[in-house]
Amino acid sequence: AQKVTQAQTEISVVEKEDVTLDCVYETRDTTYYLFWYKQPPSGELVFLIRRNSFDEQNEISGRYSWNFQKSTSSFNFTITASQVVDSAVYFCALSEATNTGNQFYFGTGTSLTVIP
Amino acid sequence: SAVISQKPSRDICQRGTSLTIQCQVDSQVTMMFWYRQQPGQSLTLIATANQGSEATYESGFVIDKFPISRPNLTFSTLTVSNMSPEDSSIYLCSVGWAGLGDEQYFGPGTRLTVT
């Protein structure tokens, strides 16, 4: 079973619109971490945010905000007033402890296109 | 954070040959990882490169096909052996620390095309 599900494969929005990228995760652990990464067309993954399982406070950083809800196992990412530079593939990831060490599980990514 | 470089950035190779990809990080790190990202797909972990010992491979990946070296805390190589067109992919090196919540930092990737 997929541990991290990003149901939206592709999204297109017009510049200045708000957009929310969904992420649903699955784990039996009580301690885990969630991440968002951005992969622009250049290909390099850029770390955006980390959230631990005990901190459900929403976080805002400029035009970016994240909504973590343990009740629905979701960690959604909202971009406000989108810009063309936001066009990228966004990956949600889960980190949990396994028998062989800490393991990262990536979702399948959401490709965001911001149209000028 | 860490700055990671990979060489080569891209290559076109003939089937049956091998390619070694280098990953260099600007500081000592505990963990180094190798991922494969096939076109339009997510990241799949190939192996964890262990300093001074054999790499730990994920299910579906074997040492004969993807030998990995990690001679020190700042450098690792991944070799893609006896390549076939199915190996065409982006290969990504990432680094991290041993803590559960430690983020991984990624290199720019190596775009490999096998003809």
Phi, psi dihedrals of residue B8, rounded to the nearest 5°: -75, 170
CA distance A45 to A93: 12
Contacts of B25 in chain A (CB under 8 A): none
pLDDT for B7-42, tens place per residue?
Answer: 999 999 999 999 999 999 999 988 899 999 998 888
Beta carbons within 8 Å of B6's beta carbon, 6+ residues apart: B21, B22, B23, B24, B91, B92, B93, B107, B108, B109, B110
Tell me the average pLDDT across A104-112.
Answer: 94
- Mean of per-residue pLDDT scores for chain B: 93
Question: Which residues sit opposite A102 in a β-bridge?
Answer: A97
> What is the number of other CB atoms lying within 10 angstroms of the CB of residue A3?
17
B102/A44 Cβ within 8 A: no
Kindly tell me if the per-residue pLDDT of A2 is higher than 80. no
Instruction: Determine, for residues B41 and A108 on separate chains, whether the beta-carbon distance falls below 8 Å.
Output: yes
Q: What is the 3-state secondary structure (H, E, C) of A18-61?
A: CEEECCEECCCCCCCEEEEEEECCCCCCEEEEEEECCCCCCEEE
Question: Shortest CB distance from B106 goes to which of A44, A50, A103?
Answer: A44
Q: Which two tokens stand for residue B3?
A: 């700055």
- pLDDT score recorded for residue A1: 65
B59 burial type by CB count under 10 A (0-12 exposed, 13-18 middle, 19+ buried)? exposed
Distance from C-alpha of B113 to C-alpha of B95, rounded to nearest angstrom: 24
